[in-house]
Amino acid sequence: MGYDTWASQRQATIAISTAEANYISAASCCTQLIWMKHQLEDYHINANSIPIYCVNTAVICLSKNHILHSRAKHIEIKHHLIRDCVQKVILDIQFIDTEHQWADIFTKSLTVERFDFVKNNLNMQFVSD
């Protein structure tokens, strides 16, 4: 996705709520997906209605509602790109429950049962020597 190395950097925006933090994160994901979409178009692969899965229903409501609520008035304009993409049907933000968040295997310490459940749903297999 354009990154050569992992890096830690200072957070550019301070979120007041979890919903706002997730909204900013979804907007960042949106910009990366748009970049990938443009790269694929160079190879004549067109993608529309690209799904983004989100556990926070407030984020989904903010991205699908074109009217700016008073709760969101302090969010920087650059983060509202996701609204435009959803409205233009470039992206489709959808709810996903915590049970089906497969990224947990990469970001959290899991019980053996949960690890096996996620691994099996990712169709991952361990290769023995």
Whose tokens are 């706002």? That residue is 20
pLDDT at 72: 63
pLDDT at 74: 63
- Of 84, 81, 61, 85, nearest to 71 by C-alpha is 61
pLDDT at 92: 92
More confident residue, 58 or 128: 58
Per-residue pLDDT tens digits for 70-119: 566 667 667 778 888 888 999 999 999 988 988 888 888 999 999 989 88
* Amino acid at site 87: Q
Task: Report domain extents, the chain.
Answer: 18-96, 99-129
Residue 37 has pLDDT above 90, yes or no: yes
pTM over 0.85: no
